[in-house]
């Protein structure tokens, strides 16, 4: 592989950046190579990334393959789905210019040849965002795991071109994290002027009585969602109502691949923005 590619891989192994799944200290670098099946490399105290690059240059073809496979292995991150996703994304971006990618088949990492295309349309292609770490958002017990599962299931629906199912899952995911934030920050939400009120008592409704539209409006007014994301979220909400067969029949709407792709990117951006607001 080209030296610049190896240097990028060294950066990922070291974890020199928030976009990478794990920071590895001197001792952890030595342990990583041992777990990868190359125990002859022991960090000597020199600059971490420069040392890792030297190790990669000294690897045989088989040893380098072991290192790359270990870098994306679910076992390396104790099954943490967010970290695994970050590792795959980062490594495949680095190896794209080499004409291959790595995919996971269960726990096994496999190499796959790809066609390199640097035409303008390819560069501008919108790509899915990595999921936030739902389990570390401090939401109500159990909801983080459910949201994480729904994110993964939504992506599976998108990949399978199950467009209607995808849209419905997206709506439930957005509603779930909005409700979770409302319950986490009740004082901030209940004092918002757009918070929905009971017509009889004049008091703010209990959170489980809020509609998705009301939660979207409040999130925008507080500043958790930008105006553009708010508008797109309301469009998604309309499609989400197609979960009702008669609504589907009356509306005549049939989400296609483009609608689904745009909606998924909007929902991912919204969810990531909401996750940042919690932190």
* pLDDT, position 123: 37
Domains and CATH numbers, the chain: 3-123 (no CATH), 134-278 (1.20.120)
**Nearest-angstrom CA–CA distance, 76 and 121:** 35
Place of tokens 């499609």: 239
Whether the per-residue pLDDT at 120 is higher than 60: the answer is no
**Confidence class for position 77, pLDDT limits 50, 70, 90:** very high
Question: Which ranges in the chain belong to alpha helices (H)?
Answer: 3-14, 26-35, 48-57, 61-72, 81-95, 120-123, 143-159, 163-184, 186-190, 212-222, 227-240, 245-251, 257-278
* pLDDT, position 6: 94
Whether the per-residue pLDDT at 251 is higher than 80: the answer is no
Max avg pLDDT among 57-66, 159-168, 225-234, 258-267: 57-66
**Confidence class for position 47, pLDDT limits 50, 70, 90:** very high
* pLDDT, position 230: 84
* pLDDT, position 128: 61
Whether the per-residue pLDDT at 246 is higher than 80: the answer is no
Max avg pLDDT among 31-40, 104-113, 137-146: 31-40
Between 139 and 218, name the one with better pLDDT.
218
* pLDDT, position 240: 75
* Closest CA relative to residue 69, chosen from 40, 102, 29, 112: 102
**Nearest-angstrom CA–CA distance, 165 and 156:** 10
- Other Cβ atoms less than 10 A from the Cβ of 214: the count is 17
Residues 6+ apart with CB under 8 A from 192: 218, 221, 222
Whether the per-residue pLDDT at 138 is higher than 90: the answer is no
User: For the whole model, what pTM was predicted?
Assistant: 0.52
* pLDDT, position 140: 81
* pLDDT, position 127: 58
**Confidence class for position 37, pLDDT limits 50, 70, 90:** very high
**Confidence class for position 141, pLDDT limits 50, 70, 90:** confident
Whether the per-residue pLDDT at 178 is higher than 80: the answer is yes
Whether the per-residue pLDDT at 154 is higher than 60: the answer is yes
């Amino acid at each position: 592989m080209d030296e610049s590619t190896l240097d990028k891989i060294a950066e990922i192994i070291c974890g020199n950046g928030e976009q990478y799944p794990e920071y590895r200290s001197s001792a952890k670098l030595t342990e990583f190579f041992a777990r990868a099946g190359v125990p002859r490399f022991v960090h000597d105290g020199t600059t971490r990334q420069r040392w890792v690059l030297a190790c990669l240059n000294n690897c045989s073809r088989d040893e380098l393959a072991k290192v790359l496979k270990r870098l994306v292995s679910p076992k390396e991150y104790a099954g943490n789905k967010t970290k695994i996703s970050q590792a795959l994304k980062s490594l495949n971006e680095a190896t794209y210019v080499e004409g291959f990618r790595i995919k996971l088949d269960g726990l096994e990492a496999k190499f796959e040849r790809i066609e390199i295309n640097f035409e303008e349309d390819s560069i501008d292609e919108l790509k899915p965002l990595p999921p936030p770490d739902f389990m570390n958002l401090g939401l109500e017990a159990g909801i983080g795991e459910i949201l994480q599962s729904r994110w993964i299931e939504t992506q599976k629906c998108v990949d399978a071109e199950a467009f209607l199912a995808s849209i419905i899952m997206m709506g439930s995911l957005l509603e779930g994290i909005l409700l979770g934030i409302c319950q986490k920050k009740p004082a901030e939400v209940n004092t918002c002027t757009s918070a929905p009120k009971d017509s009889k008592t004049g008091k703010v409704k209990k959170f489980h009585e809020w509609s998705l539209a009301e939660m979207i409006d409040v999130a925008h007014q507080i500043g958790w969602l930008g105006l553009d994301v708010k508008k797109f979220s309301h469009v998604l909400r309309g499609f989400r109502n197609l979960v009702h067969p008669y609504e589907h029949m009356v509306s005549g709407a049939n989400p296609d691949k483009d609608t689904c792709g745009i909606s998924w990117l909007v929902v991912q951006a919204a969810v990531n923005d909401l996750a940042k607001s919690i932190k």
